[in-house]
Structure 1
Amino acid sequence: MTGTTSRAPERARRLQNVDALRGFALFGILAVNIWAFADPYYASTETNPGFDSGIDHAVRFVVSLLFETKFYLLFSFLFGYSFTLQMAAAERAGRGFVPRMLRRQGGLLAIGLLHGAALYYGEILSTYALLGLVLVACRNISPATALRLGAMLIVASSAVWMLLGVAQLAVGDVTGSSASDAVGKLSAFQGDATATLAFHSGHLPDTLAALWLLQGPSAMAMFFFGFAAGRLRVFADPERYRDVMKRILVFGLPVGLIGAATYALAAAYAPGGGLETVAFGFGQLTAPALTATYVVAALLLFRTAFGRRVETAVAPMGKAALTNYLVQSLLLGVLFTGYGLGLVDRLPPLAVVAVVPVVFLVQMAASRLWLRGHPYGPAEWVLRAVTLAEVPPWRSPRTVPTRTDRRYRRDSEE
């Protein structure tokens, strides 16, 4: 197979650092997604008129600076990395990879669409499911080719957005003035469960189309970057890439922060117009550098005594990442929409931020408790059953494992 190394396949073992990075990504995704539930003006052409202090705007600036457009890239990168683990698992099991992966992507698409229609219209799983088919088609490319394709996608998509922003500025569209759907969203989320469900399902098609334009190219690029890292087994032996990681820190941090600050300023103070579009394009160009910095910083942290404890604590979140992503939407729905308390637009930004670690810590504890008696999260179990076209074990075996149980354990990288 093109791009493979001459080494024998590594021993089948779950990479705890990959799970911990998934858990870290879930924290960042929660820190971004919560605003789609708590603030009806989020991602619109208007600034929330209720933000009446410098602290309110500063909070939104920090979220845009450190979290927005960074953590879905990390999740995308890890999706690409896990794709190579799926390839290795299929090879060890002696099964055809393509049918297996097509079933997996089909299952992910179904879960994503149900999630989007019922819980969060801005879901990204269905995008991942369809973009993953591109990775299936490109499964034989070399790591170098994957890196080139990813870089080309980042540069091309960023250039398009910046040119689009320049065109907006040329016709005087500086900060945006079109009406948003904030009033409709506020009414739906403060209404009953039926109103909330209607809003999610009604906005899903348009939102998915927007996400394909906004996030599709960069997500695909990160798929390719993660695929290259997986073929090189970067997380299986990170020490081997220490010099590369140092260069990423030196280069990626300043470049990523400059782009992130540019985007954050425009998103917080000039939303909806040409300035934000140009800044978004520039941010898309530099965001992978900041995301790479986050990855390297986490890997270096995991090498310390304190970091190993952090890795162990967060890894269960990542092992049940799909379940936790869905549960995040459910919990935020109960807090902020007609499914529960209806707190949309009622909490100040600082209070919204304070909800994030509380939800995350609850999920950490629940994940750890669940995985004591179960090999997979509930959503992972469903997706695994679809992928393998078999019923995997629901509970962790407490006796001598059967041949079937041993095979499922060997097949548990993803």
Structure 2
Amino acid sequence: MTLRADTASAPVPADRLRNVDALRGFALLGILAVNIWAFADPYYASPESNPAFDSGLDHAVRFAVSLLFETKFYLLFSFLFGYSFTLQMAAAERAGTAFIPRMLRRQSGLLAIGLVHGAVLYYGEILSTYAILGLILLACRHIAPRRAVQIGVGLVVAVGVVWMLLGLLTLAEGGGDGVAASDAAAKLTAFGGDAASTLGFHSGHLPETISALVALQAPSAMAMFFFGFAAGRVQAFADPARFRPLMRRILIFGLPVGLIGAIVYALAAAYAPGGGVEVFAFGLGQLTAPLLTAAYVVAGVMLFRTGPGRRIESALAPMGKIALTNYLLQSLVLGVLFTGYGFGLIDRLPPLAVLAAVPVIFAIQLMLSRWWLRGHRYGPAEWALRAITIAGVPPWRRHGD
């Protein structure tokens, strides 16, 4: 992969990149397709463990989710976080403000939002992890794009190898177990109870879940931060045509290799969850998932440059422009549907019905995002985060432009 550092000095367009917003909107679809299982199923959509849903169709749904969505879309979101970091650098330069204090305020605000989100709505949230990892990117903001790619590749390889070795060790020691019945029962009781029990479960599990996310996702997310940072420094999305040969190579190589790793992981997640086989497959997935994510990015950018693709880009961009608000809104909606905050439907819907809810929720968010942005410059969460970032009061209504 060739990324020239001297292109980093080119001026960054002041206007938002609609393809970046559209990709961020697409990432939210994948995140919703994964996170919904943490609300709807106490066994996290594992047919091998869940005695209520163990049919062939249930396995097929689990396989599809693992194949197409798991371990891919948080990587896409992480990549876009790294890219947006360079846009924040450009914004600070245009505003004539010091970048480090501005980003420290932004990351602190993101950490606060993340911790509240995790304690109240979704204990598996990732914003707080992003807030901490962003400080590493802040410290590395002067590195060349090529060096950022090298660091990212090193992290991906190291993480994949470690998890594969852990999987082999687990197999050698007896294979491991699936989701603990006691853990599932506790979650089912909490989410099937009242709002207080749901709140207690989220807040009580937040510390251990953050620790788990640091082990499971933080290194790979950091790698994608670096990849996104490198892409932002060379303004890859401002003029994608310059990188057409690279994009073609990513599709030719990254798509099949990424799919092979995804298939192996999906088979393990659907038919051998919780043991050494899944741990090994997870490690293989950590090696190959960035390639599949890169293929998603390239395919999206190429699609957006076509006539029909521009309409898709236009539909997705408002969702991605207020991605933080939509991410939080997804947790709120899922909480109302599946926990004691609302209808308490946890473990009551078959996997196919759970999966079918994803496009419905997403479509509603698309419409709400477009409607909201007709009268507002920012989503509610984006407005609050920007206020913290600039240490001021940004305009609320669009007529204030």
State TM-score, norm by structure 2.
0.97
The 1-side partners of 2:179 and 2:234 are apart by: 48
1:286 Cα shift?
A: 0.2
Partner of 2:261: 259
The 2-side partners of 1:294 and 1:385 are apart by: 33
The 1-side partners of 2:170 and 2:209 are apart by: 22
1:109 matched to 2:100? The reply is no
Gaps of 5+ in 1: 399-404, 406-414
Partner of 1:41: 43
Secondary structure of the residue aligned to 1:391 is: coil
Partner of 1:97: 99
- Alignment partner of 2:172 out of 170, 173, 176: 170
- Alignment partner of 2:271 out of 269, 272, 284: 269
Partner of 1:209: 211
Structure 1 residue identity aligned to 2:84 = S
Structure 2 residue identity aligned to 1:289 = L
Runs of 4+ in 1 over 4 A off after TM superposition: 43-46, 174-180
1:175 Cα shift?
A: 5.2
Q: Is the 8 A contact 2:32 2:330 kept in 1?
A: yes
Partner of 1:138: 140
1:11 Cα shift?
A: 3.0
The 2-side partners of 1:200 and 1:4 are apart by: 47
1:371 matched to 2:373? The reply is yes
Partner of 2:32: 30
Partner of 1:344: 346
Percent of aligned pairs sharing the same letter: 73
Partner of 1:152: 154
Structure 2 residue identity aligned to 1:182 = A
Q: Is the 8 A contact 2:47 2:53 kept in 1?
A: no
The 1-side partners of 2:188 and 2:21 are apart by: 36
Indicate the RMSD between aligned Cα atoms, in angstroms. 1.5
Change (3 A) 1:102 1:240: same
Q: Is the 8 A contact 1:175 1:275 kept in 2?
A: no
The 1-side partners of 2:343 and 2:137 are apart by: 41
Structure 1 residue identity aligned to 2:225 = F
Secondary structure of the residue aligned to 2:71 is: coil
Q: C-alpha offsets along residues 257-300 of structure 1, whole Å, 9 cap, x if unaligned?
A: 11001111111111111111100000000000000010111111
The 1-side partners of 2:8 and 2:298 are apart by: 26
Change (3 A) 1:309 1:6: closer
For 1:6-405, what aligned pairs fall within 5 Å after superposition? Answer: 7-42=9-44, 47-173=49-175, 176=178, 179-397=181-399, 405=401
Secondary structure of the residue aligned to 2:352 is: helix
Gaps of 5+ in 2: none
The 2-side partners of 1:224 and 1:265 are apart by: 30
Q: Is the 8 A contact 1:46 1:177 kept in 2?
A: no
1:176 Cα shift?
A: 4.3
Change (3 A) 1:55 1:177: closer
1:92 Cα shift?
A: 1.1
The 2-side partners of 1:45 and 1:199 are apart by: 23
Q: C-alpha offsets along residues 333-383 of structure 1, whole Å, 9 cap, x if unaligned?
A: 000000001010000111001100110011010000000010000000000
Q: Is the 8 A contact 1:81 1:226 kept in 2?
A: yes
Q: Is the 8 A contact 2:47 2:59 kept in 1?
A: no
1:162 Cα shift?
A: 0.7
Partner of 1:409: none
State TM-score, norm by structure 1.
0.94
The 1-side partners of 2:47 and 2:127 are apart by: 25
Structure 1 residue identity aligned to 2:306 = T
Structure 1 residue identity aligned to 2:245 = D
The 2-side partners of 1:380 and 1:194 are apart by: 28
More displaced, 382-391 or 6-15?
Answer: 6-15
Change (3 A) 1:45 1:150: farther
1:44 Cα shift?
A: 7.4
Change (3 A) 1:61 1:6: closer
Partner of 1:411: none
Change (3 A) 1:45 1:60: closer
Q: How many residues align?
A: 398
Q: Is the 8 A contact 1:76 1:223 kept in 2?
A: yes
Structure 2 residue identity aligned to 1:211 = L
Secondary structure of the residue aligned to 1:104 is: helix
